[in-house]
Chain A
Amino acid sequence: MNRDRPLRYQCVAAMVLVLAATAAGAHSASDAYLTLDADTPSETGGAARTVVHVQWDIALRDLDFVLKLDDDGDGNITWAELRKHQTAIAAYAMESLNVSSDHGACTIRPKRQMVDNHADGTYAALFFDIACVGAARRITLDYRLFFAIDPSHRGILVFHSGPNTATALLSPENARIELRP
């Protein structure tokens, strides 16, 4: 899978079936998208550590509400304005994400930020690696993004590990998830 290209873009055909099964009243609320890819042990050089590659898409609308990205207040977030706030965005986002494994602590290593388009607007795409000591069997993710200011926010998580894919919906009631790479 091309890691920079989230899975949902590839399932247009499947979408219609999902639509028929689960409809909605046409109001968009706040969503963020987490796409995780576990490295195969061989890639990490003898399983001395476990690495998961992550793309985290967070809506600029939501980030503007908490971090005021629209500096000149004209109602348009420009690329220049977004760039100026990228450090603050990364800090804010990472503060709401805790990662640990059954082998102990994990660290988050930021890689880069880009911009991603979704059907309801433009998102900041945060790329980073989760690196855990040893061959972790369980990685626990504690997700709190925006819950304090908007309990209807949802984190939509897709986890790829080898041939397997798992999905999860993160909410205030279900904020912690265990990944098994």
Chain B
Amino acid sequence: MLSVHAGAPAGSSPVAPAAPYRAPYLPSTDSDVLQQVPAASDPKVSEMGTLRLQLNANPTDLRTADRLARVYIDFGRQLGDAHYAGYAEAVIAPWLRAKPPPAQVLVLQATILQFRHQFPDARSLLQQALKQDPRNAQAWLTLATLDMVQGDYAAAKDDCGQVARDGGFVLGIACTGNLRSYLGQAQQSMALLTQIEGDAPNLSAPFKAWVQGLLAESAERLGDWPRAEAHYRKALGYTPEDNFLLVAYADFLLDRNRPEQALDLLADHSQSDTAFLRIALAQAAIGSPELVRSTWIMAARFEALAQRGSDYYGREQVRFALHLQHDPQAALELARRNWMMQRAPWDARVLLEAADAANEPQAAAPVLTFLEQTKLQDPIIEPLAQQLRAQLKNGTSRAP
């Protein structure tokens, strides 16, 4: 959160209005709000509190630890806040030191590492877990997600088969439906996912929201914008605060040239870095005077990540370099590195966009090959790929 403070800066020297920071200071009034935190009235917060007390009372109880870690991971994912992944990691740490660690703990730790984009380590833990417990549906589903994120669709297909076998029909359909949308089969994907989108009472709200989010994504592949939007809204009806969904819907709105609505949507979510990037992109689209400040803050947040030694690369950073720092060369370099780790449609898109902006169509070649192999259909990516393919074929760059 970045609230505006009324207090005078400590050195009492006036600060230029554009500067978002100042020296350490003393707030002027008692009621100055310094920081937003999860409110006690949030049911998730009280659940975390209760479980934490239970675990403190009985620190060797794996069931409580497992539940608490799950609630932390869910809550953090919902907020787009990595702190909770760290809290979950501390909760399961004693069991992770066991030899061998219980499979369920390995899967939780893999989920945490995946959240942090530490994909090779996450994969290795999942493989360990499956060695111990080959029918662990959660492990297969997490592995499927990992394989999809990294573009290994053949492996993901096998994983989804295992998910269906060990996790049941609904989970298997969700997995396969998700996968098909990356393989040029968005129509089938929608048909599959529609089968499980009902209001079955035994399905949790986050699961239903996930299915609606997948439907929205598939509809986007088909260019069916009204349907995509309807699914995003339905998804957010189940989990209104879900950072992942909010960000995906904001991207949809930005693509539809509706930046004002993206700003409204994310107004209360500036603490999440992924949401903050979309806020800044929307501000750029409407020519907001806030943009200078937001760009500065976004750069500072990336810098803070770099300082703490985070060594993963993200599509967010490519978009930041490309659209807000207007540095196509830097964006292309970041997009290339990102592509080594992540190969979801957005990763393909940012590399194509960066290659195009940098006027280096040859840099797009790996993505173009990947798209030919996977047959991804996407009304935004396809024309861009076609254009770059034509440039490559003619051996020309775009006219400057």
The yes or no answer to A16 lying at the interface (CB within 8 A) is yes
Contact A70 B117 (CB under 8 A): no
Q: Is B165 an interface residue (CB 8 A)?
A: no
CB-based nearest B residue for A167: B307
**Are A8 and B5 in contact, CB atoms less than 8 angstroms apart?**
no
Contact B303 A19 (CB under 8 A): yes
User: In the complex, A16 Cα to B330 Cα: how many Å?
Assistant: 9
- Report yes or no: B305 in contact with A117, Cβ–Cβ below 8 A: no
- B291: min CB distance to chain A, Å: 16
Which residues of B are found within 8 Å of A151, using beta-carbon distances? 86, 89-90, 93
Whether the pair A152, B23 counts as a contact (CB closer than 8 A) is no
Q: Are B2 and A24 in contact, CB atoms less than 8 angstroms apart? A: no
The answer to whether the Cβ of B17 comes within 8 Å of any Cβ in the partner chain is no
Whether the Cβ atoms of A70 and B82 lie closer than 8 Å is: no
Q: Which residues of A contact B11 (CB under 8 A)?
A: 2, 4-5
Q: A80-B30, A150-B90, A151-B89 are in contact. Are A23 and B303 (CB under 8 A)?
A: no
Q: Chain B's nearest CB lies how many Å from the CB of A64?
A: 5
B334 at the interface (CB under 8 A from A): yes
Given the known interface contacts A18-B306, A152-B85, the answer about A25 and B117 at a Cβ–Cβ threshold of 8 Å is yes
**A26 x B317 contact (CB < 8 A):** yes
In Å, the complex CA distance between A46 and B315 comes to 55
Main secondary structure of the interface of A (DSSP, over half): mixed
Determine whether the beta carbon of B316 is less than 8 Å from that of A19.
no
CA of A96 to CA of B34, assembled, Å: 24
B26-52 interface (Cβ within 8 A of A):
26-27, 29-42
The stretch of A36-44, A97-105, A118-126, A137-145 in contact with B is A118-126
Asked if B21 contacts A24 (CB within 8 A), the reply is: no
Interface readout for A10-44 with B: 1 if CB under 8 Å, 0 if not? Answer: 00100110111111111111110000000000000
Contact A28 B35 (CB under 8 A): no
Residues of A in contact, count (CB < 8 Å): 60
**What are the residues of chain A within 8 A of B301 when measuring CB–CB?**
26, 28, 119-120
Q: Which of B31, B34, B42, B311 has the most CB of A within 10 A?
A: B34
B37–A75 touching, CB < 8 Å? yes
Contact A26 B5 (CB under 8 A): no
Contacts of B225 in A (CB 8 A): none
Contact present for B308 and A156 (CB under 8 Å)? yes
Q: List residues of B (185-232) whose CB comes within 8 Å of A's CBs.
A: none
Q: Which of A54-62, A87-95, A128-136 contacts B (4 or more CB under 8 A)?
A: A54-62
When the two chains form their complex, are residues B90 and A15 in contact, meaning their CB atoms are under 8 A apart?
no
**A153 interfacial contact with B, CB 8 Å:** yes
Contact status B39-A78, CB under 8 Å? no
> Which single residue of chain A is at the shortest CB-CB distance from B30?
A80
Determine if B35 and A19 form an interchain contact, defined as CB atoms under 8 angstroms apart: no
CB of B313 closer than 8 Å to a CB of A? yes
Q: How far is the CA of A60 from the CA of B32 in the complex (A)?
A: 14
A155: nearest chain-B partner, CB-CB: B308
Interface residues of B (CB under 8 A from A): 1-3, 5, 7, 10-11, 20-27, 29-42, 80-83, 85-87, 89-90, 93, 115-117, 271, 273-274, 277, 296-314, 316-317, 321, 325, 327, 330, 333-334, 337-338
A-B pairs, top 9 by smallest CB distance, nearest first, are: A73-B40, A75-B39, A150-B86, A119-B300, A24-B305, A80-B30, A152-B86, A25-B314, A22-B306
> Could you list 11 examples of A-B contacts with CB < 8 Å?
A4-B23, A8-B307, A15-B302, A19-B306, A19-B317, A23-B305, A23-B314, A115-B27, A116-B24, A149-B86, A150-B86
